[in-house]
Amino acid sequence: LRFPVPVCLNSPRDLTRRLLSTALPDVEIHYAGSATEATPQLERSQIVYGWGFSVDLLRRIWMQKMGAGVDDLAEEWPFGSKVVLTRTDGRLIGTRMVEYVIAAILDKTSRFDVARRLQSERRWEYFEIGSIQDLCIGVAGLGEIGSEIGRVLRDLGADVIGWRRSPVDCSSVRQVFVGFPELHSFVRECDVLILALPLTQETKNLFNAEVLKHCRRGIHLINVGRGAVLDESALLDGCETGRVGHATLDVFALAGYSSVLVAPQITITPHVCGPLIPERIIPHFLRNYAAFETGKQMQHVVDVSRQY
Ligand SMILES: NC(=O)c1ccc[n+]([C@@H]2O[C@H](COP(=O)([O-])OP(=O)(O)OC[C@H]3O[C@@H](n4cnc5c(N)ncnc54)[C@H](OP(=O)(O)O)[C@@H]3O)[C@@H](O)[C@H]2O)c1
């Protein structure tokens, strides 16, 4: 027996609406495009699905974050376990993030920037290019997304190592480094360092001047996790001294925005590497919805005490 639980969803795209209304024809679904618009809708909803809700608006039973990161909610989650917080399965977003990471690495190894510059100067000049197969690539954050990134890079022939919080083996990498005591040894080995970490109290500004000091000179940093994990003033100093060869940032804290924009060693993109594709993520929500309705265990329940 189904009992329809009203859902409130923000910023829906047409396809999202279509997928939801087809799958849940008897459920009252309210849509809102902003927090203000969502407020009256929330009064009538028991489930909230989306992003951009402020925590004080949420007094529902279950909130499913549309997206893998929950730092915006988990930092000050006042409900304990009274309201269940779930997130989107990172593997559903990770395949696109892998493409971005490969593009960022190949952009440097294939030296297309040099090719374009020479072409714009109407010159043909021989230069050597590098290979992913000669690189040691570190993935900080070997979760659902980081493991997928590691697996594909390893298949491409890179020497891949990873860093995570818990001592769990991961077949995507040659070696797993664990926790803060092993962070310096981990970064010391990397030619390329990919940050695929959630933002938590522990990871905020974690990649600071001290950590960068232990990195190989000329390291390529790629941040696809959250901006505030990387201390941007340390990054800018690192770019100036040559400690950092290049940084590709899909996410960054806006504090250093103007400096980041002009630094020639930094490539920025506007948080685009992991799009939320409705056909991939809505079925995940629907599986959780079915579990919720029948009192079964939902997937991707966030441990709010550790903030991810
Ligand atoms: N740029 C984008 O478009 C985009 C899109 C989606 C997601 N993201 C970001 O990517 C993040 C990761 O997503 P996910 O699905 O892979 O999450 P996940 O499966 O929860 O994995 C998180 C990983 O980070 C590790 N970690 C957390 N805190 C740590 C700490 N203090 N020290 C060392 N390792 C730590 C975890 O270690 P354990 O394995 O030991 O727990 C885990 O390996 C999200 O939180 C989000 O911020 C960005």
| 103-128 exposure pattern, b = at least 16 Cβ within 10 A, e = fewer | ebbbebbebeeeeeeeeeeeeeeeee
Kindly state the average pLDDT of the residues 61-66: 90
What is the reported pLDDT for 107? 95
DSSP 30: E
69 lines ligand 1 (CB under 6 A): yes
> Mean per-residue pLDDT for 30-39?
79
Residue 2: pLDDT band with limits 50, 70, 90: very low
Residue 159: its pLDDT value, please? Answer: 98
Q: Whose CA is nearest to atom 1 of ligand 1?
A: 224
Residues 6+ apart with CB under 8 A from 129: 109, 110, 111
Q: Measured from the CB, is residue 166 less than 6 Å from ligand 1?
A: yes
Residue nearest to atom 8 of ligand 1 (CA): 225
Q: Helix, strand or coil for residue 148?
A: helix
Q: How far is the CA of 224 from the centre of ligand 1 (A)?
A: 10
Q: What is the pLDDT of residues 135-173, one digit of tens each?
A: 999 999 999 999 999 999 999 999 999 999 999 989 999
Nearest-CA residue for ligand 1 atom 19 is 143
Question: Which of 48-52, 189-193, 197-201 has the lowest average pLDDT?
Answer: 48-52
Distance (Å) from CA 36 to ligand 1 centroid: 30
At 257 the pLDDT is 74
Contact 149, 101 (CB under 8 A): yes
Statement: residue 238 has pLDDT above 60: yes
Q: What is the mean pLDDT of the chain?
A: 91
Alpha carbons 50 and 6: distance in angstroms, whole number: 14
Confidence of residue 10 (pLDDT cuts 50, 70, 90): low
Ligand 1: residue whose CA is nearest its atom 15: 90
Q: Which protein residue's CA is at the shortest distance from atom 44 of ligand 1?
A: 69
